[in-house]
Structure 1
Amino acid sequence: MKKAINLKTVITAIAIVLGVATTSAQEVKNYDQGFRLGFGLNGGLPLNDPYDFNLGADARLQYDLSQRYSLTLTTGFSNMFVSGDNNDLGYIPAKAGFKAFVLKDQLYLMGEVGAAFAVTNGYNQTSLLLSPAIGYANENFDISLRYEHFNDFPVIKNDVTKDGLGQVSLRLAYGFKL
């Protein structure tokens, strides 16, 4: 009977060792944190008069915290075109944001906040810039739709000049790991 107990003990010990060896042999895939750089073209439709459309280009630096979450810094140049005698409004956006991938690591939601510095045609106003977005990205390409709100850029409502410009914008971009 004593030999049977020893045999059971040995078989149990072997099973435990094999189980631990098999478990620790499995590889855990870690996501490499790091930087990405993207260059985009933007086209927008301002929601207020006197602006007709917006065109611009940007550069975005992104730091991936994990496979799902990233921090972003975005800048570039955009121009709000105006028909008639009014001047166009060119501005440089400077935004910081947070991007969260919500579906299969490709569909994302993003929020950015920053400033828009008017730089052309006599405008010298700096505006608070708020920008929520939804987008789709893969290894190299990014397409997003966003709303932008400029608190301090002039608009015309009921023939009165006020502040508070909104626009809907589409961004097409190419990005890569640094």
Structure 2
Amino acid sequence: MKNTFNIKTVITTLAIILGIATTSAQEAKNYNQGFRLGLGINGGLPLDNPYDFNLGADARIQYDLSKKYSVTFTTGFSNMFASGDTNDLGYIPAKAGFKAFVLKDQLYLMGEVGAAFAVTNGYNDTSLLLSPAIGYATDKIDISLRYEHFNDFPVIKNNVIKEGLGQISLRLAYGFKL
């Protein structure tokens, strides 16, 4: 049974994130709110065959609601390199998220939800993309470790093609205020 991209789930999640963000913004009237831009490179280890590793680059726009809470939007390009005769899988992620700093305004937890648009080698699926992360950020540097789950991308399990690709990924980024 194929999992389909459910737009209602994404819209509901974004509404919840914006509701939390609005509540947090009302608590932070003395904080200088604003936008940040982060440019990053990603390296990942897919957890399923036939993929060996993932490389990519991204741009993340972040709106700081307070010193502790931010909303994010991330996009870029990544490529899953495959072994054997299998084609590589290139995709464009588009994710919205919520970031909460939990320790000294540097250690954070973040959750993102969105879509991954396959764009290379004959793949034409769009997949639901879920991505929890933990990271460390300073005024300029952002390092994070995340798990990503792609609901509809193909994998090989027990010599059978199925759907549901997972990966662990490391992001190194340079960020600045706009």
TM-score > 0.5, shorter chain as reference? yes
Residue equivalent to 2:102:
102
1 CA distance for matches of 2:49 and 2:82?
A: 9
Deviation at 1:163, TM superposition (A): 0.3
Deviation at 1:83, TM superposition (A): 1.4
Give the structure with higher Rg (CA): 1
Question: Which consecutive unaligned segments of at least 5 residues does structure 2 have?
Answer: 1-28
The total of aligned residue pairs comes to: 150
> Aligned AA for 1:42?
N
Counterpart in 2 of 1:111?
111
Please, what TM-score do these two structures have when normalized by structure 2?
Answer: 0.83
> Separation in 2 of the partners of 1:38 and 1:104?
20
SS at match of 1:42: strand
Counterpart for residue 72 of structure 2 = 72
Q: In the alignment, what sits opposite 1:155?
A: 155
Larger CA deviation: 29-38 vs 101-110: 29-38
* Structure 2 match to 1:130: 130
Task: Tell me which amino acid in the other structure corresponds to 1:43.
Answer: G
Pairwise CA distance, 1:58: 0.1
1:57 deviates by: 0.1
Deviations 1:10-46 (CA, angstroms, capped at 9, x unpaired): xxxxxxxxxxxxxxxxxxx932000000000000000
Partner of 2:169: 169
Paired letter, 1:69: Y
Question: What is the aligned-residue identity percentage?
Answer: 86
In structure 2, the residue matched to 1:6 is none
Shift of 1:84: 1.1
CA distance in 2, matches of 1:83, 1:128: 24
Instruction: Give the structure 1 partner of residue 83 of structure 2.
Output: 83
Q: Could you tell me which residue of structure 2 aligns to residue 144 of structure 1?
A: 144
Q: 2:35 matched to which residue of 1?
A: 35
Provide the alpha-carbon RMSD of the alignment. 0.9
Aligned to 1:25: none
Task: Give runs of ≥4 in structure 1 deviating > 6 Å.
Answer: none
